[in-house]
Amino acid sequence: MANATPTQSLQYIDQVAEISPRAKSSDIGSKLRYFFSQLTFTAASTTPFVSLHKMMKLPAGKARVITDLSRIICPAGTATADLHVGNAAYTKNDGTAGAADDNSLADNVDVGGGAIDQALTLPTAGFLEFDSRDGVDIEVLLDTEASPAAGVMYLMLAVMMGN
């Protein structure tokens, strides 16, 4: 069996040494919370690239979205419609700007080819971390073609948060 270097995580070292200022609550003892939102479509958008929907706001502080435990469910759009799940611009806890990224959680999901029900696909590391001063808006963008004319879109996020 091969050994890995280093052999201990920083969180383990902090826990064993009981150095509480270094041990972050979002790393050890965080709570998993689910955020749920739904949007009912009543008419298709008439122009591509205008169908942006704010779905939920994550609370301020450190939040890790666990993508494998999060889902997007959406009825079929028209022709080549695709869907993006991402975040709006936000203020990080240190006061710097956090960039908007319409593809941070899912990119170009094909809803033109049919209804979808799937786990979020990005980032490939399995989680996305935010550390915000005022919270982060999570948005869904439907582009290329019109959005669904009817039906309900659901977004569920599994988020690890400090206790």
Per-residue pLDDT 10s for the chain (163 aa) are 455 556 666 666 666 665 555 555 556 667 899 999 998 888 777 665 557 889 999 999 999 999 999 999 998 877 778 899 999 999 999 999 999 999 999 999 988 888 899 999 888 888 999 999 999 999 998 887 777 778 899 999 999 987 5
Q: What is the pTM of this model?
A: 0.81
Domain ranges of the chain: 29-161
- In this predicted model, what pLDDT tens digit does every residue of 103-143 receive, in sequence order? 999 999 988 888 899 999 888 888 999 999 999 999 998 88
Q: What is the DSSP string of 26-95?
A: TTSS-EEEEEEEEEEE-S--SSTT-EEEEEEEEPSEEEEEEEEEEEEEE---STT-EEEEEE--EEBTTS
* 29-161: CATH class: mainly beta
